[in-house]
Structure 1
């Protein structure tokens, strides 16, 4: 089992992404416990991934999978005591040096004090190195709980692929972190074919391809398709299949892709001509219902809820989220699956 330390920008979306890459066991403010995720698949909504060791004195079995124990007390000293008790109960051995890093959500002890006290327990078994340790023990305090993990990896920062840093850029492009989260939630990784029928600058396609997805994208604008091709070449060695075409009439066979993400026209000029934003959404979703395989997921983004439109063309609504962009724009994100016949 793994302990994910979540970013605070959109907790619900981060939890959904964690659940998409593994079996969600538990979650709370700032963290999620997930069974068997692929930790090499970089998550957008998590800061880092650790092997879960235990909680509030719960030990670990030979498999390294911690049993969740009783939650810690409310006072600062009780919380520190619970963390120390948990550390003492763990048969963790280090091949080299170690350091302890703590993260406290809400009221509680200082991170420095937690690190000092928990580090004192492990210092009896290994050498402390605060600058460049071989191993890092993570302590997470949240809502009266103390959880410990052994760090596996940090997730990437995405800064190098910010829309303005890409060779081809247009205003209104989705951030790479959001694009990665939506791609992961759809299932566009590890050989799965992910379609973006209105791909724009190719942000979703790039993020899917970087985690092993087979990226397929189209756009009514030839300029966008060529720009997306440039971006895919820059970040993914050109991996991806692109076409110029209307998202309401896709040149794809029935059930030919595994999943899809679509950022429908809103708050900006549409490159799909003929019809209102509502009719465009209905046409695009209808085509996605046709080309996505049974049980495949579609993640659709708009500035309004698409639940009824999605149901009318054959989808079930699996989940829904909000993502506030700025004062006058909030994205509405719906996760869909093809309704059983």
Structure 2
């Protein structure tokens, strides 16, 4: 069975990476069928409905998960042909939505929705836009159209409710919850996730909400107190430590995932003598405490690939996130050599 992820458009590469990492974390038997702009289609051998619902509870940069009924061309006649040939019996109510991915199609979506709706109306089904029994969806991306129905959706409003300024303790310059959750998912934690520069615990909160035990450290006591307030507010299972990230109080190979956003010199106290020392020392310590074959997601303003490789990591992915004209985050996904 084919499942389509309708990816969010807030980043070019992170949404697909998050979806694939979540599938791997859930030990799902899958293979990539199509990787398109704004849409990832996988072939799934496991139970599709259960898997889709489990994914919807973890993902942040996906809108909907769809059971794919057909894949065709992107012209109006191609779309109607794909819909007409779809193998599905419909006795109840339905809705139809057509979405252009990044305006890559010139198809009139409203007209297309009416024409598709007419196909099922002629087959005896009734339209219900407010509470349909089945919600059909067409994604138009490049020269392809993906037709299917929604089986699960991500509650993106929950991430909005956890924006930093809504939390008990606020400090500027932190990651937004959707980004933090996506990076947690990309790190593929199993039991514990560690953030050695935890700040106000935005990353740890997102890890804890999906059932991961959160461990954090920081050299600023004020931020640790704020982190405690935020973690308690969301009832997270956590441990916090006052510590220097270049001299961590953790045993060798004791955590199975690391996600961290170091201060990299921005209006924050750095205990190391220089930013270079901080990057070198913290990456060395992260490598020490991380289990073999596991991932660390490290955010920086500068390239850290050479430092990471000298510490013993393999760089498996890199993502760029432009925050504003003077700040672009470099997100490096690292793996400790087994």
Q: TM-score, normalised by structure 1?
A: 0.88
Paired position in structure 1 for 2:33? 25
> Structure 1 residues 40, 154: closer, same or farther in 2, change over 3 A?
closer
Paired position in structure 2 for 1:15? 16
Q: Aligned partners of 1:262 and 1:326: how far apart in 2? A: 20
Structure 1 contact 87–122 (Cα < 8 Å) conserved: no
Counterpart secondary structure, 1:11:
coil
Counterpart secondary structure, 1:269:
coil
Shift of 1:185: 0.5
Structure 2 contact 21–186 (Cα < 8 Å) conserved: yes
Q: Aligned partners of 1:50 and 1:221: how far apart in 2? A: 45
Paired position in structure 2 for 1:205? 204
Paired position in structure 1 for 2:331? 333
Structure 1 contact 163–175 (Cα < 8 Å) conserved: yes
Paired position in structure 1 for 2:108? 110
- Higher fraction of strand: 2
Q: Which runs of 4+ in 1 moved over 6 A?
A: none
> Structure 1 residues 94, 204: closer, same or farther in 2, change over 3 A?
farther
Shift of 1:222: 1.9
Unaligned runs of 5+ in 1: 57-71, 74-78
1:196 aligns with 2:195: yes
Counterpart secondary structure, 2:67:
strand
Matches within 5 A, 1:181-330: 181-188=182-189, 191-235=190-234, 237-330=235-328
Paired position in structure 1 for 2:27? none
> Structure 1 residues 331, 21: closer, same or farther in 2, change over 3 A?
same
Shift of 1:107: 2.6
Query: What root-mean-square deviation, in Å, do the aligned CA atoms of Structure 1 and Structure 2 show?
Result: 1.7
Paired position in structure 1 for 2:170? 169
Paired position in structure 2 for 1:84? 80
Q: Aligned partners of 1:234 and 1:35: how far apart in 2? A: 39
Q: TM-score, normalised by structure 2?
A: 0.89
Q: Aligned partners of 1:180 and 1:313: how far apart in 2? A: 26
Q: Aligned partners of 2:322 and 2:202: how far apart in 1? A: 19
